[in-house]
Amino acid sequence: MSKRAFCLMSADILAFIGAYAGLRDLFGRPAIPVTAAVLLVLFLVVFWYYRFYRVEVFFNRLQYAARVMRAGLVVFVLFWGTWWFLLKTQWPEASRLLLVGLFVAYGLLYTLTMRMVIGRWLLRRTPIRYRLSTDLRDLLQKGPGRILKRLEPMDAEKTPWTTRGGLVLMEFQPSAMASTRARMWREYSDFLDTAKKEALTRRATVIVFNLYNAELNHEGTIMALGEISGLPISGRRHSCYRRLAKPVLDRLLAILLLPLLALLHPFIALMVRLEFGMPVIFRQIRIGRAGRPFRLFKYRTMQLVSGSTAGDVDSVHREYIAMLLQEEEQARLSAGHLVSVDQRVRKMRHREEISFPGTILRKTSLDELPQIINVLAGHMSFVGPRPALPYEIEMYPAWAGKRLDAPQGVTGLWQVSGRGMMPLHTSLFLDTYYAMEYDFWLDLLISFRTLRSVFAFSRVY
């Protein structure tokens, strides 16, 4: 945790304690430490989820206020759900008037006034260097740049910047050779590699602005200049989480979910057996981390079973992937304008082999449930780029190979960002971005958004 984040969290805790003590004396209600502690923990977790401990969130006061309202609503729903099912019976003497007063005084008044003042004060004292085009530089200097005391341009001719930490604002612009969307994403991926090296060298957060960040639909983009959002690049390697904590958490969660698999398996197996026959679970060869093949387990959702051997290829799906790749290779860029494409990466919804039970399994994502075994065996993680088929890896552009630097997962960043509704190169870019940046926060964000996407049935195929 950075010093600025620690300062903000300390202020949040002290403000909550002060508000609780003041309102308790004002209303003359008894102190119930358990309910207060539950509410405080919920506020801290939701604040962390909405990136309230990053100084970039204070660049735009209106966007910060909007985040505060969303965070307050989430805390309200979570707390009163907890209250109704648990706290109300265990501590019935807890004052609801006091708790409502806390939501108003702390969740709204404090976060929109004193907390914003503290955050803007920290932002003014954060060292910020930038390398931006004229348009974005003007937006920065005429907007939040007016309050920044340590804002400097990055000029190679001047003395190198020796300050560690802070923010580095950079802009990606395609080269003259990038005439298509496919070439632009390749150059953008290479640009992020350079930005990551700079972030690690300076131990700073690099924020990369690009017009096409709008396609990513990534909640981690908390800063924008005009209509162009910035993609954050961390100055940390997260080695401890990646090497130790993530594998341990994966296996613990897999063990906890095994009873769920055992409970649902008889019903799903019966439905699949009656509709498709045997096998109920089919094994498909996928490419895992570092290019290692493994057998992925899934419930059958269609008559056709392919990919069980290395040479077994679904020709219809292969032609579909080739069409998606070719589409972006032919989509011409237009300077200053976002060029979109019509086709979207998704499971092939209208295939004749898919029946009604298969559609139900896909819409609820229950067909992925046997992959708990893959996670327990260490073949996969719960969160990571979706493991591709061997022929897909051969067809993907070379720069997309960086997605194999991370453990492949049951759910991934592009799945929750578009739920199968975004162009192929965009999804591959998100996979490479995840492989570069994944940490506990990003995995938690993807996990929460996965639950939200699963219940948006109209967008699941």
Residue 93 in tokens: 């003497």
pLDDT of 147: 81
Average pLDDT over residues 289-313: 79
Q: How far apart are CA 217 and CA 418, in angstroms?
A: 7
Lowest mean pLDDT among 4-18, 83-97, 392-406, 417-431: 83-97
pLDDT of 458: 46
199-258 pLDDT per residue, tens = 998 888 999 999 888 888 777 778 888 888 899 999 888 889 999 999 999 999 999 999
More confident position, 350 or 173 = 173
| pLDDT higher than 90, residue 2 | no
| pLDDT higher than 70, residue 4 | yes
| pLDDT higher than 50, residue 194 | yes
For the chain, give the percent of residues with pLDDT over 90. Answer: 39
pLDDT of 354: 62
Lowest mean pLDDT among 192-201, 362-371, 390-399: 362-371
Q: How far apart are CA 204 and CA 130, in angstroms?
A: 12
The three-state secondary structure class of 223 is strand
Q: How far apart are CA 414 and CA 392, in angstroms?
A: 16
**Distance between alpha carbon 2 and the CA centroid of its chain, in Å?**
21
263-275 pLDDT per residue, tens = 999 999 998 888 8
Spatial contact of 328 and 423, defined as CB atoms under 8 Å apart:
yes
Q: How far apart are CA 91 and CA 104, in angstroms?
A: 22
Q: Which of 96-100, 155-159, 438-442 has the highest mean pLDDT?
A: 438-442
Q: How far apart are CA 147 and CA 149, in angstroms?
A: 6
Q: Which residues pair with 208 in a beta bridge?
A: 170, 231
Class of residue 239 by CB neighbours under 10 A (exposed 0-12, middle 13-18, buried 19+): exposed
Q: Which residues pair with 388 in a beta bridge?
A: 287
Average pLDDT over residues 196-201: 90
E strands in 380-439: 381-383, 409-411
Q: How far apart are CA 205 and CA 287, in angstroms?
A: 32
99-153 pLDDT per residue, tens = 888 889 999 999 999 999 999 999 998 999 999 988 888 888 887 778 888 888 8
Spatial contact of 213 and 231, defined as CB atoms under 8 Å apart:
yes
| Banded pLDDT at 340 (limits 50, 70, 90) | confident
Residue 94 in tokens: 């807890």
Residue 314 in tokens: 């679904």
pLDDT of 380: 95
More confident position, 155 or 54 = 54
Domain range summary for the chain, segments of one domain joined by +: 3-122, 126-233, 239-459
242: left (phi over 0), alpha (psi -120 to 50) or beta: alpha
Residue 353 in tokens: 């082999």
The three-state secondary structure class of 271 is helix
Spatial contact of 397 and 443, defined as CB atoms under 8 Å apart:
no
158-190 pLDDT per residue, tens = 545 556 788 999 999 888 888 888 899 999 999
53-65 pLDDT per residue, tens = 999 899 888 889 9
Other Cβ atoms less than 10 A from the Cβ of 44: the count is 17
Backbone angles phi, psi at 300, to 5 degrees: -70, 140
| Banded pLDDT at 286 (limits 50, 70, 90) | very high
More confident position, 334 or 280 = 280
| pLDDT higher than 80, residue 343 | no
Q: How far apart are CA 237 and CA 242, in angstroms?
A: 9
- Return the closest-CA partner of residue 139 out of 174, 116, 172, 169: 169
Q: What is the pTM of this model?
A: 0.87
Average pLDDT over residues 7-30: 90
* DSSP strand pairing (228-233 vs 205-209): antiparallel
pLDDT of 430: 92
| pLDDT higher than 50, residue 460 | no
Average pLDDT over residues 59-87: 83
